[in-house]
């Protein structure tokens, strides 16, 4: 049983201003696995003031000093990678191969990328007789989700540190254990007091206080579009910068070519990663109507090979993260059936033999129309919708017919054709044949958010631009 009953503020572990706790469930067992302290506006205020004091010195630190800190974190991160993986497995049910692999590795990747970017990042530029300087924006409120807990903490904290900002982190109360280990890493690495602060809590108690606090200069939020709207509303009266990485309903246009079987196979398998709990998951697969039956057969075969709840199988998927998420998915599965979509595999209920744990049957719907609820709402589970198209113009039209625009995918053997289609998809990132790059910007169009994370693009979100005119003689 884990007990994390203190917050990390001003370089020390401190008690909450007013004691309050929350039990945390293990989604694999449905049993309480730990308890955490839950903060309030008073705790946020203490943490923000610590960050404000630390900003005076940390904002003036040199590139070399920040590199030293990041490299010290890197050393501690490597030491605690096993503990991080155990925490992710326990808090969100990720199988060991996923927790120790992509979940923890993504955090390490963002750290390495931040170090590499910082070494050569240009913080100033002379334009004529004017000096343009990029300065740290100030105290940052960082609000992170439960689905990729370390990844989302890492891609906010490391750019903030590298650019000279100070911060208060509010991780998801659904998956707080990895944030605790991450904070212990920060402490062991000797990050100066007040630069990084941690307060556990829920949205109403801590998220609102953080996003509305007058001494917070910027809020970076990852989560649902609904919650992102509330963060923006809370931040508006103090005119702070808000960056948001929100929901998605990403299309995957499968081209009609010789790679069709491989493209469908890859699309189904990618959708099942992390039990479908990824905001950029390729949840709408678009295939030629003439090959819909072929796509169904391929998808069914792929799903038959997906094992659920077997921690010894590297391809297995775990439960979804909470009872609330499980119940939401079940409702949407039933809605898809009621609306007339074809159940190719899966469906409602738990997988056979798994009566305990928030396990969802890996599900594929076919013959889906884009006006169905399952094609429009983010399900956030191992559920794929297959839609048909007559030609590529219609495929692009369907792909863009969504309020979201976080990601898109194009799959096929003809690279020139894939490139042409990718240019027409309205999304912040488009992956051809599921390409991946930590140095690429990550963020969305439309109601998928604003701003960009990852690599040098993430640095820019934590910087203000100052022009000093007359810096050089005319």
CATH code for the domain in which residue 145 is found: 3.40.605.10
Question: Residues 53, 165: one domain?
Answer: yes
Q: What angle do CA 284, 286, 287 make, to 5 degrees?
A: 145
Q: How many of the other CB atoms lie within 10 Å of CB of 188?
A: 15
What whole-number distance in Å separates Cα of residue 36 and Cα of residue 26? 13
The dihedrals phi and psi of 362, each to the nearest 5 degrees, come to -55, 125
Q: Which of 12, 20, 11 is nearest to 42 (CA)?
A: 20
Among the options 245, 378, 453, 461, which is catalytic?
245
Q: Are residues 115 and 89 in the same domain?
A: yes
pLDDT for res 107: 98
Which residue segment(s) compose the domain that 195 sits in?
A: 2-246+448-468
Rounded to whole angstroms, the Cα distance separating 180 from 102 reads 19
Residues 212 and 87 placed together within one structural domain of the fold: yes
Are 374 and 433 in a shared domain?
yes
Query: 140, 155, 165, 279: which one is catalytic?
Result: 279
Same domain flag for 418 and 462 = no
Q: Is residue 474 part of a domain?
A: no
Q: Answer yes or no: is 360 within a domain.
A: yes
- The answer to whether the beta carbons of residues 30 and 195 sit under 8 Å apart is no
Q: Where are the alpha helices (DSSP H) in 170-322?
A: 177-188, 208-212, 225-235, 260-272, 292-304
Do 280 and 377 lie in a common domain? yes
277-327 pLDDT per residue, tens? 999 999 999 999 999 999 999 999 999 999 999 877 877 899 999 999 999
Q: Report if residue 27 sits inside a domain.
A: yes
Please say if 279 is a catalytic residue: yes
The reply to whether 271 falls in a domain is: yes
Same domain, 189 and 229: yes
- Do both 193 and 256 map to the same domain? no
CATH of the domain at 293: 3.40.309.10
pLDDT at site 48: 99
Report yes or no on 290 lying in a domain. Answer: yes
Number of folded domains that form the chain: 2
Q: Which helix (H) or strand (E) holds 111?
A: helix 104-120
Based on the domain organization, do 260 and 238 belong to the same domain? Answer: no
What does the DSSP 8-state code read for residue 146?
Answer: S
Three-class secondary structure of residue 286 per DSSP: strand
**409: Cβ contacts below 8 Å, ≥ 6 apart:** 250, 251, 252, 253, 267, 282, 430, 431, 432, 434
Q: Which residues of the chain have pLDDT under 50?
A: none
Pairing of strands 251-254, 429-432: unpaired
Assess whether 72 and 221 both reside in one domain: yes
Is residue 83 domain-shared with residue 129, that is, in the same domain?
yes
> 466 has which bridge partners?
133
In a domain, 473, yes or no: no
Contact 321, 331 (CB under 8 A): no
* 424 and 453 within one domain: no
Flag whether 64 is in a domain. Answer: yes
| Residue 288 near residue 256 (C-beta atoms within 8 A) | yes
Within 13 A of 66's CA, how many CA atoms are on the CB side? Answer: 28
Strand 407-411 and strand 251-254: the pairing is parallel
Are the C-beta atoms of 407 and 428 separated by less than 8 Å?
A: yes
Tokens of 171: 């991780």
Q: Across the beta sheet with 241-245, what order do the strands follow?
A: 12-14, 7-9, 196-198, 166-170, 139-143, 218-222, 241-245, 449-450
* 245 a catalytic residue: yes
Residue 366 lies in a domain: yes
């Amino acid at each position: 049983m884990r007990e994390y009953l203190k917050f990390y503020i001003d370089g020390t572990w401190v008690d909450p201003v007013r004691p309050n706790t929350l039990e945390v469930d293990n989604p694999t067992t449905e049993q309480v696995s730990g308890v955490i302290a839950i903060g309030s506006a008073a705790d946020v205020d203490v943490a923000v003031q610590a960050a404000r004091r630390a900003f005076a010195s940390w904002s003036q630190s040199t590139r070399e000093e920040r590199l030293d800190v990041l490299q010290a974190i890197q050393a501690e991160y490597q030491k605690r990678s096993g503990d991080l993986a155990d925490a992710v497995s326990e808090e969100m049910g990720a199988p060991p191969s996923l927790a120790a692999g992509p979940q923890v590795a993504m955090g390490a990747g963002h750290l390495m990328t931040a170090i590499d970017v910082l070494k050569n990042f240009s913080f100033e530029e002379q334009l004529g007789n004017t000096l343009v300087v990029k300065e740290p924006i100030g105290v940052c409120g960082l609000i992170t989700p439960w689905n990729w807990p370390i990844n989302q903490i890492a891609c906010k904290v490391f750019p903030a540190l590298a650019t000279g900002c100070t911060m208060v982190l509010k991780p998801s109360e659904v998956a707080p254990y990895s944030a605790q280990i991450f904070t212990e890493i920060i402490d062991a690495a000797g990050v100066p007091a007040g630069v990084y602060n941690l307060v556990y809590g829920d949205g109403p108690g801590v998220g609102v206080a953080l996003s509305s606090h007058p001494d917070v200069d910027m809020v970076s939020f990852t989560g649902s579009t609904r919650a992102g709207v509330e963060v923006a509303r809370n931040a508006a009266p103090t005119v702070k910068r808000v960056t948001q990485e929100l929901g998605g309903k990403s299309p995957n246009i499968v081209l009609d070519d010789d790679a069709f079987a491989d493209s469908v196979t890859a699309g189904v398998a990618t959708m099942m990663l992390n039990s479908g709990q990824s905001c950029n998951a390729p949840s709408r697969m678009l295939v030629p109507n003439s090959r819909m039956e072929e796509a169904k057969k391929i998808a069914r075969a792929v799903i038959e090979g997906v094992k659920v709840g077997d921690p010894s199988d590297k391809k297995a998927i775990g439960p979804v993260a909470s009872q609330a998420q499980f119940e939401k998915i079940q409702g949407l599965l039933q809605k898809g059936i009621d609306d007339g979509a074809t159940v190719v595999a899966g469906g409602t209920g738990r997988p056979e033999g798994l009566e305990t744990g928030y396990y969802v049957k890996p599900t594929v719907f076919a013959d889906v129309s884009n006006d169905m609820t399952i094609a429009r709402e983010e399900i956030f589970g191992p559920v794929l919708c297959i839609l048909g198209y007559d030609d590529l113009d219609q495929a692009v039209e369907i792909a863009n017919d969504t309020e979201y625009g976080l990601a898109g995918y194009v799959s096929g053997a003809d690279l020139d054709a894939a490139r042409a289609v990718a240019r027409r998809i309205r999304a912040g990132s488009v992956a051809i044949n599921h390409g991946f790059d930590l140095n690429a910007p990550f963020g969305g169009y439309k109601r998928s958010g604003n701003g960009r994370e990852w690599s040098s693009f993430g640095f820019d979100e934590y910087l203000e631009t100052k022009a000093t005119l007359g810096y050089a003689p005319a």
